[in-house]
């Protein structure tokens, strides 16, 4: 989808005065203290902030894995903050893709089979599942690794499989919590190259990172502190990961 089209209609993500408490017996942890933000379609947002500042709590809410204690969350214009777990799970499977720091692939399962997994809730035949998974692997540059097992792939390749798996149901948003946290710097930039290419195609990306060099590949950086948004700025002179890779020394592996 083009960027112009992305500006029509509601923002893809919108949180309004979101608070989140965790009750731990006697004590109460106030993880989010009134967070409001919008992400437009085709946005690419990096979320930064010290450990414990509420980044993952927000990602879990955006990902419909958890609900705010108060405040509203609108996904594609629909208020999902009070939906029951079953409905949330269905929305999550259709609209959202997730990538985590640990790649969370099944070990004795090929790249293609790992990528097929999220389609198992969709009533389509086996051939169509495989076709969608192969398309998703091609999108992340792994068309020729479909029958490889995780142990036969580098960390960067495994993370690409995880990205393909996140994309296989055609989500509108990719949510990534520290996606480069386990990767060396060159491989991290390679993952940013994949994210930028997907974002160019219209996918909305929200990514947590603690590295400012990685955050610069996004279009916008939000900084959290103590459960609040402290800064929210567009990235000026955003580097293209593809160009950055040309300047980095190759690793010998
Ligand atoms: P970040 O991802 O920025 O490191 P988190 O969102 O994980 O921060 O955590 C924010 C605060 O909420 C921290 O004080 C953390 O200890 C607390 N917290 C997060 N998840 C839970 C949970 N499931 N139960 C209790 N406290 C939690
Ligand atoms: Mg976290």
> Which residues have a Cβ under 8 Å from the Cβ of 218 and sit 6 or more positions away?
44, 45, 46, 205, 207, 235, 238
Task: Ligand 1: list residues with CB < 6 Å.
Answer: 22, 24, 29, 31, 49, 51-57
For residue 37, the 8-state DSSP code is: E
Ligand nearest the Cα atom of residue 178: 2
Place of tokens 């979101």: 18
Lowest mean pLDDT among 49-58, 88-97, 102-111, 161-170: 88-97
Q: What is the mean pLDDT of residues 217-233?
A: 98
> Ligand 2: distance of its center to the CA of 150 in Å?
25
With a cut of 60, say whether residue 3 has pLDDT above it: no
The tokens describing 85, both together, are: 């777990």
What is the Å distance from ligand 1's center to 223 Cα?
16
Which residue has tokens 């079953």?
86
166, 97 Cβ separation under 8 angstroms = yes
23 φψ region: left (φ > 0), alpha (ψ -120 to 50), beta (else):
beta
pLDDT of residue 1: 46
Question: What are the strands of the beta sheet with 13-24, ordered from one edge?
Answer: 27-39, 13-24, 70-75, 78-79
The token pair at 34 is 């009134």
Q: Please give the model's pTM, rounded to 2 decimal places.
A: 0.93
Express each pLDDT in 65-104 by its tens digit.
889 999 999 999 999 987 888 888 888 888 999 999 998 9
Q: Please identify, by atom number, the ligand 1 atom nearest to the C-alpha of residue 59.
A: 6
Q: Whose CA is nearest to atom 12 of ligand 1?
A: 31
**CA torsion 123→125→127→133, rounded to 10°?**
10
Tell me the best of 15, 22, 23 to mutate to test the pocket of ligand 1, counting ligand atoms within 8 Å of each CB and taking the most. Answer: 22
């Amino acid at each position: 989808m083009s960027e112009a089209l992305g500006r029509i209609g509601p923002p893809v993500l919108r949180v309004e005065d979101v608070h989140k408490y965790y009750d731990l017996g006697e004590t109460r942890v106030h993880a989010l203290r009134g967070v409001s933000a919008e992400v437009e379609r085709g946005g690419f947002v990096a979320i930064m902030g010290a450990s414990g500042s509420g980044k993952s709590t927000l990602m879990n809410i955006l990902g419909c894995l958890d609900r705010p204690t108060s405040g509203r969350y609108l996904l594609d214009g629909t208020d999902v903050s009070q939906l029951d777990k079953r409905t949330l799970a269905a929305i999550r499977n259709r609209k959202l893709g997730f990538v985590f720091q640990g790649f969370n692939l099944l070990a004795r399962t090929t790249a293609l089979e790992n990528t097929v997994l999220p389609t198992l809730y969709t009533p389509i035949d086996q051939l169509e599942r495989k076709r969608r998974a192969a398309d998703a692997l091609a999108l992340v540059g792994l068309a020729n690794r479909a029958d490889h097992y995780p142990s036969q792939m580098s960390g960067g390749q495994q993370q690409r499989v995880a990205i393909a798996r996140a994309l296989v149901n055609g989500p509108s948003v990719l949510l990534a919590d520290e996606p480069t946290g386990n990767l060396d710097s060159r491989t991290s930039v390679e993952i940013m190259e994949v994210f930028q290419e997907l974002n160019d195609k219209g996918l909305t990306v929200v990514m947590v990172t603690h590295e400012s060099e990685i955050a610069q590949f996004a279009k916008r950086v939000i900084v959290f502190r103590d459960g609040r948004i402290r800064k929210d700025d567009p990235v000026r002179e955003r580097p293209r990961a593809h160009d950055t890779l040309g300047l980095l020394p190759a690793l010998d592996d």
